[in-house]
Amino acid sequence: MYNRLLTFLKKHRILTEIQHGFIENMSTEAAGQSFIVSLQEDLDNQRKAIGIFLDLSKAYDVINHKT
């Protein structure tokens, strides 16, 4: 299912080039590094920067998996 979904997303260009996590050679560590570099560039150029972080790791804990 993963391969079929990923193929569909790539074929229809739904994922951006900066998509991280679950993509080959695009780890969550790379996402953090990319964010820091972008933040440093914005601050060096006197631009405002903002980050919004969501932790959805527990989102599926409330689902009844027995049904």
**Residues 20-57: pLDDT tens digits?**
777 778 888 888 898 999 999 999 999 998 888 888 87
Residues making up the chain, counted from first to last = 67
Q: What is the amino acid identity at position 58?
A: K
pTM surpassing 0.85?
no
Task: Specify which residues 23 forms β-bridges with.
Answer: 26
Answer whether residue 6 shows pLDDT above 90.
Answer: no
Quote the tokens at residue 25: 């050679």
Measured in whole angstroms, the distance separating CA 4 from the mean position of its chain's CA atoms is: 19
**Residues 52-63: pLDDT tens digits?**
888 887 777 777
- What is the spatial distance between Cα 10 and Cα 45, in angstroms, rounded to a whole number? 34
Closest CA to 34 of 22, 51, 47: 51
